């Protein structure tokens, strides 16, 4: 019983810490601009604590499917730099997604399945064909909402190891692009300029992510071609 409820206990504890620490107040560009000096000073004085707090906050945002994931990723780049900010984001997002995956395996899974709707069934064939490659594609290219992609594998029999590996590496490209953009927020704030998320999602970036997604499908195509050749 305790084992099944462990993910819920983890979320409850992280949520309490998240709101007690006041991180929820900074999930906007306006708040980040206003408190940037305080946040930068805190990160400089307590780098380990700040990193752990950021990862914790990201876990909660993903686990509860709260709005603000993009802002959090940009904030990570702003506070910790493109590389470390991106890495902390990948760790937090992967852990948060894993918690959802584990919760979907509990008695709460039925409620989550109902919330996910019919989108899960449309993914069934892809996961049956090659779970790792398909999961990697779904992480690289936003074909479905992040919340749905977090849940679907749990209901379609994807192993936890496959889920974690594909999530960790699949979200890296987009994460580091946003983290790199976030690392330049300081100059934008100093100059009083406006920051646009749409400016990051250029056709070139989307095309690159789509290309990576297609590359990860090569094993699936190869398997189909080999199967057709064998049948002939």
pLDDT tens per residue, range 128-182: 888 888 898 888 877 777 878 888 888 888 899 999 999 999 899 888 888 888 8
Burial class (CB in 10 A: 0-12, 13-18, 19+), 174: buried
Q: How confident is the model at residue 35 (pLDDT cuts 50, 70, 90)?
A: confident
Cα–Cα distance measured from residue 99 to residue 91, given in angstroms and rounded to the nearest whole number: 12
Cα–Cα distance measured from residue 105 to residue 99, given in angstroms and rounded to the nearest whole number: 10
pLDDT of residue 88 exceeding 90: yes
Q: How confident is the model at residue 210 (pLDDT cuts 50, 70, 90)?
A: low
pLDDT of residue 102 exceeding 70: yes
Cα–Cα distance measured from residue 101 to residue 178, given in angstroms and rounded to the nearest whole number: 25
The reported pLDDT for the residue numbered 161 is 94
pLDDT of residue 2 exceeding 50: no
Backbone φ and ψ for 164, nearest 5 degrees, come out as -65, -45
* Angstrom distances, CA of residue 219 to CA of 45, 67, 130: 47, 34, 8
Cα–Cα distance measured from residue 11 to residue 64, given in angstroms and rounded to the nearest whole number: 9
The reported pLDDT for the residue numbered 27 is 60
Cα–Cα distance measured from residue 81 to residue 111, given in angstroms and rounded to the nearest whole number: 39
Q: What is the arithmetic mean of pLDDT over 34-59? A: 88
| pTM to 2 decimal places | 0.73
Q: Which is it for the CA torsion 178, 142, 227, 118, positive or negative?
A: positive
Q: How confident is the model at residue 216 (pLDDT cuts 50, 70, 90)?
A: low
- Top-confidence residue, 232 or 130: 130
Cα–Cα distance measured from residue 21 to residue 23, given in angstroms and rounded to the nearest whole number: 6
Cα–Cα distance measured from residue 217 to residue 130, given in angstroms and rounded to the nearest whole number: 9
* Angstrom distances, CA of residue 42 to CA of 2, 65, 69, 71: 37, 27, 22, 19
Cα–Cα distance measured from residue 126 to residue 122, given in angstroms and rounded to the nearest whole number: 8
pLDDT of residue 97 exceeding 90: yes
State the helix-helix crossing angle for 69-80 and 36-45, rounded to 10 degrees.
Answer: 60
């Amino acid at each position: 019983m305790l084992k099944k409820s462990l993910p819920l206990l983890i979320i409850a504890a992280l949520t309490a810490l998240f709101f007690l620490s006041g991180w929820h107040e900074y999930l906007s560009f306006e708040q980040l601009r206003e408190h940037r000096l305080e946040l930068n000073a805190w990160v400089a004085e307590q780098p380990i604590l700040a990193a752990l707090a950021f990862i914790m906050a990201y876990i909660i945002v993903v686990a509860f499917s709260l709005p603000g994931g993009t802002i959090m990723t940009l904030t990570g780049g702003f506070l910790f730099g493109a590389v470390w900010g991106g890495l902390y984001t990948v760790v937090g997002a992967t852990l948060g997604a894993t918690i959802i995956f584990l919760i979907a395996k509990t008695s709460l899974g039925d409620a989550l399945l109902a919330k996910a709707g019919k989108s899960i069934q449309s993914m069934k064939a892809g996961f049956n064909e090659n779970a790792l490659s398909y999961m990697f594609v779904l992480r690289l290219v936003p074909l479905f909402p992040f919340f749905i992609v977090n849940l679907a594998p749990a209901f379609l029999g994807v192993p936890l190891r496959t889920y974690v590996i594909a999530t960790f590496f699949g979200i890296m490209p987009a994460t580091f692009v946003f983290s790199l953009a976030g690392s330049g927020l300081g100059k934008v704030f100093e100059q009083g300029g406006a920051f646009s998320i749409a400016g990051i999602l250029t056709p070139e970036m989307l095309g690159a992510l789509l290309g990576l997604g297609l590359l990860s499908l090569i094993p699936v195509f190869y398997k189909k071609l080999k199967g057709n050749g064998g049948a002939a």
